[in-house]
Structure 1
Amino acid sequence: MKQLILAALAGTVLAPVAVTAQQVPNAQPDMPVSPRDRFYTSDQFSNTVSVIDPSANRLLGVIKLGDPTPMNLSPLYRGQLLVHGMGFSPDRRTLAVVSIGSNAVSFIDTATNSVRHTTYVGRSPHEAFFRPDGREVWISVRGEDYIAVLDGTTYKETGRIPVPNGPGMTIFSPDGKYGYVCSSFSPETVVIDTTSKQIVGRVKQESPFCPDIAATPDGKQVWLTLKDIGKVMVFDARPPFAVLKSFATGAITNHVNIAKTPRGQFAYVTVGTENVVKVFRTDDFTQVATIPVGALPHGLWPSGDGSRIYVGLENADAVAAIDTATNRVIATIPIGQGPQGVAYVPGAVPSGDGLAGLQPLAKAGEKVQLILSGTGRSQVTLFDQGQVQILQAAVAGLPPKMPFVLGLSSNPDGNGPVEPLAKFMTNPAGGAIVNAVGPLRQIVTQAAPTGSRRYLVIASGQPDAVGNVVQRQVKQ
């Protein structure tokens, strides 16, 4: 009582002490799953944002930010292209969505699903995150060598922070003191003091390709993924930012996120070629679960109370909902094409039904899935864009750092000439993500007209010097 009286005399109000766990990104108090919550995915090939009600595990609709291919190839195209990254404001009222191909950050009102403002930044931005105090938004401009700093209210650029070439993502310490910036082109993560905007720490990455980074809600650790070598690194969130652990997780290790539960604090990691999420303790780094989820898991985010993890399935056009108490998938929800970054926003819709501005899924839900096997195994998805499809292959099991060609053969065994579609170089783990565009569904499926059927293959070499076929399309 005496403490309350003194507080009142001092003109302050004592906030209740949170006794529950706290979740990412800013160690906010637990919020149980509610119809007011929303889970969002940024859909790279349909150029949409899918909006899910997690209380019912149901897609409510999509926010259309642009058009699919080939409409987005016009020189007069004004929509967004390659919708990819995602973050949200501490007050949970604003979603920041990054479009790599149009160099844009769209700020969306979570209550109305409307674009409040669009800011254009440098070449190929990747992710956008608000500082915990909401005053700034930091954009990792991966196609260049700086962080673009935007005002958290006007969304205008106010400055730039030089960093190693190719910043992949920024995440902040829960207290907002540090910004941790990993790189997708340079083997170095830097730690930035958010007040001085100066680099105060450097962490050597074991490879140059980090797509994702997460800070634990207890403020003690930072986890980052190394997609090209299939590893995770963990370092101390405080000076001198020493590396605590580095370990293999699997080819095309993509995103990592943290859930604090009554059983402890756990890191969830998506492993693309294995179609699983792997779960690790953050105290001793032991693996406690491997969860099959679906084709090419990418981004993931915990619910506001850590009871669930939601995972975008890039090659399945779906979201898998995981119960963290059992580490089992409890729902799979159809969404737009090629989900990349994701965000779970507790209390995103304070009132109303939150359906304004949403459109049906429509064509974005159509796809064909194929398998190539031989030396290794690759999963292929054809994302329907109308008369053409975007092909994405998650290649695995090939020799590392070698040139290959994805192409078409007239013969199911791959013998004879190969018509190249795309060339690629495998990463140090023998994997790759390969893309192509064309009227492919019409010729590589059983519905192809007589005489026009083709078969997807992977061959060694270059398009002008195709070598031996190493993977072939499995017969349907």
Structure 2
Amino acid sequence: MKITPKISFRAALAAFAIAAAPLAFAGQAPGAAAAPDIAVSHRDRVYAAEQFSNTVSVIDPADNRLLGVIRLGDPAPANFSPLYKGQLLVHGMGFSPDHRTLAVVSIGSNSVAFIDTQTNTVKHVTYVGRSPHEAFFTPDGRQVWVTVRGEDYVAVLDASTFEEKTRIKVPAGPGMQIFSPDGRYGYVCSSFNPETEVISVADHKIVGKIAQASPFCPNIAATPDGKQVWFTLKDVGKTQVFEARPPFALLKTIDTGPITNHVNIVRNAKGQFAYVTVGGLNEVKVFNTGDFSQVATIAVGSLPHGLWPSGDGSRVYVGLENADAMAVIDTLSNTLSASVPIGQAPQAVAYVPEAVPEGDGTANLQPLGVAGRAAQIVLVPREGGGDTRTSVTLFDQGLLQVMQAAVAGLQPKRPYILGLAGHADGSGPIDVLSRFMTNPAGAAIVNALGQIRQAVSAPSGAGANERRYLVIAPETDGKVGEPVQTQAL
């Protein structure tokens, strides 16, 4: 016999209030909790900054469709020229409070390109110091702060003229900045020093410092309720949380996993949650911001990097760096709902509600072209080496490929090589493609450039004996040891 539980009048009233008043859990990062939710529509856009194709992919989230790309630069080897004028290593991304301007940082060309979201055109390029990483508008829309990671300052640009007006001195290697929803504080974590700075936006003075568990912070996010700041530590695979208000006390350190990349905050009917991309595990982990408990683990695909919630918190969009795709997560069920093909090696992601106030917003977009071609390879441990895999992607650049390996499952802080062996089991001489040192989590991001696809793809006919196989092996005193990971066939 089915028993229907009794529901009290108070519980029924609360349920009705939630259904009738979505503002009870409104406000998505980087806005305040008091801001209204914005339902997904054809006026919204999702953007991805793509490092190897030097493009920005543009997605309509209403039907999860790639509309095209904004091409900021050329693929290799065109960008090797001393006369090259395009942008290089398109990487970081932020947007204005009025949702009309996208700020895109290119690490290799030391630039911030300001893009009109309605027309998809670059309206200005500002060049700053060495290797900038991220750019974000202050909540009042008057300034743009750019972390100049290759130096020791935050460049402050006028949001109207896009000119640099001043610099805020910080420890070397500022990784990223985000602001408190009320605009009072800017939080700047470091990629070279184990310290996050809290800066007063009004006078640019450092008013607080938070110790990081390691020097390498790539990403930081503030909760819309104005209470917490979350930041990731890529080298040790941790995520830390501190109070967003004085005394800026450290609240929690969470072991999230190798190649912990980005974090962002979602508010929905179930509460407020932090979503963290863990590249070495190909997962997104979800944590309740109230008690820091992990509530979900979502397998999303190869090397998740940037992520951003929709304007109503119903979805999270995740750039898959080694899959050239955007994964879409339903936040109420924490399941994958879609995958959209995009450009090469997406880094930062931004969801901009109502970015296109009128028309279809497709003007000046270009097709993916060569940026849509990539090949994926997996390296697996040899017998007895555990089950952690390394994902490798070959990004086509015409005749060449940029190879990127998301290495995981190795010994921490040890030298290794990524190379080509003549036999599938890794035996025989090995030609070294790249040397690398693993981080404290036993992981690394390793890159190489060349005609690699031609070597590792199985040729036919007379050339069949020319095939090579990707392997990872330790290196001691310049001597390559026995491979510990080999190419899956």
Q: Same fold (TM over 0.5)?
A: yes
1:364 aligns with 2:386: no
Structure 1 residue corresponding to 2:142, chosen from 135, 142, 146: 135
Deviation by residue 1:61-82 (Cα, 9 ceiling, x = unmatched): 0000000011111111110000
Q: Separation in 2 of the partners of 1:281 and 1:84?
A: 29
Structure 2 residue corresponding to 1:81, chosen from 76, 83, 88: 88
Q: Separation in 2 of the partners of 1:63 and 1:248?
A: 37
Paired residues of 1:214 and 1:223 also in contact (CA < 8 A) = yes
Structure 1 residue corresponding to 2:465, chosen from 446, 451, 454: 451
Paired residue for 2:31? 26
3-state SS in 1 of match to 2:395: strand
3-state SS in 2 of match to 1:96: strand
Q: Separation in 1 of the partners of 2:144 and 2:31?
A: 14
The percent of aligned pairs where both chains have the same amino acid is 67
Deviation by residue 1:402-445 (Cα, 9 ceiling, x = unmatched): 01111111121111211111110000000000000000001101
Paired residue for 1:40? 47
Structure 2 residue corresponding to 1:417, chosen from 401, 413, 429: 429
Paired residues of 1:93 and 1:110 also in contact (CA < 8 A) = yes
Task: Give 1:95-244 correspondences, 5 Å limit.
Answer: 95-244=102-251
Paired residues of 2:25 and 2:271 also in contact (CA < 8 A) = no
Deviation by residue 1:305-355 (Cα, 9 ceiling, x = unmatched): 101000000000000111111111110000000000010000000001100
Q: Separation in 2 of the partners of 1:47 and 1:201?
A: 36
Paired residue for 1:286? 293
Deviation by residue 1:348-389 (Cα, 9 ceiling, x = unmatched): 000011000100111111111111112442111101111010
1:461 aligns with 2:475: yes
Give 1:463 deviation, angstroms. Answer: 9.3
Task: Give 1:304-319 correspondences, 5 Å limit.
Answer: 304-319=311-326
Paired residues of 1:423 and 1:463 also in contact (CA < 8 A) = no
Paired residue for 1:430? 442
Q: How many residues align?
A: 460
Give 1:471 deviation, angstroms. Answer: 1.1
Paired residues of 1:182 and 1:210 also in contact (CA < 8 A) = yes
Q: Separation in 2 of the partners of 1:216 and 1:408?
A: 46
Give 1:26 deviation, angstroms. Answer: 2.1
Q: Separation in 1 of the partners of 2:195 and 2:134?
A: 17
Paired residues of 1:275 and 1:295 also in contact (CA < 8 A) = yes
Give 1:216 deviation, angstroms. Answer: 0.2
Q: Separation in 1 of the partners of 2:456 and 2:321?
A: 21
Q: Separation in 2 of the partners of 1:314 and 1:109?
A: 25
3-state SS in 2 of match to 1:72: helix
Task: Give 1:240-389 correspondences, 5 Å limit.
Answer: 240-374=247-381, 375=385, 376-389=388-401
Task: Give 1:398-409 correspondences, 5 Å limit.
Answer: 398-409=410-421
Give 1:20 deviation, angstroms. Answer: 5.0
3-state SS in 1 of match to 2:483: strand
C-alpha distance 461-152 of structure 1, shift in aligned 2 (>3 A): same
**Normalising to structure 1: TM-score of the pair?**
0.95
3-state SS in 1 of match to 2:370: helix
Paired residues of 2:97 and 2:137 also in contact (CA < 8 A) = yes
Deviation by residue 1:197-224 (Cα, 9 ceiling, x = unmatched): 0100000000000000000000000000
Q: Separation in 2 of the partners of 1:398 and 1:260?
A: 36
Q: Separation in 2 of the partners of 1:468 and 1:186?
A: 35
Paired residues of 1:46 and 1:67 also in contact (CA < 8 A) = yes
Paired residues of 1:405 and 1:463 also in contact (CA < 8 A) = no
Q: Separation in 2 of the partners of 1:132 and 1:366?
A: 38
3-state SS in 1 of match to 2:266: strand
Alignment-mate amino acid for residue 444 of structure 2? A
Paired residues of 2:25 and 2:267 also in contact (CA < 8 A) = no
3-state SS in 1 of match to 2:93: strand
Alignment-mate amino acid for residue 353 of structure 1? D
3-state SS in 2 of match to 1:29: coil
Alignment-mate amino acid for residue 298 of structure 2? I
Deviation by residue 1:119-164 (Cα, 9 ceiling, x = unmatched): 0000000000000000000000000110000001110000000111
Give 1:462 deviation, angstroms. Answer: 6.3
Paired residue for 2:9? none
**Normalising to structure 2: TM-score of the pair?**
0.92
Give 1:451 deviation, angstroms. Answer: 2.7
Q: Separation in 2 of the partners of 1:71 and 1:174?
A: 42
C-alpha distance 331-247 of structure 1, shift in aligned 2 (>3 A): same
Paired residues of 2:25 and 2:268 also in contact (CA < 8 A) = no
Paired residue for 1:8? none
Paired residues of 2:344 and 2:395 also in contact (CA < 8 A) = yes
3-state SS in 2 of match to 1:468: coil
**Structural RMSD (CA):** 1.4
Q: Separation in 1 of the partners of 2:156 and 2:391?
A: 38
Alignment-mate amino acid for residue 422 of structure 2? S
Alignment-mate amino acid for residue 384 of structure 1? D
Give 1:467 deviation, angstroms. Answer: 2.2
Q: Separation in 2 of the partners of 1:437 and 1:101?
A: 16
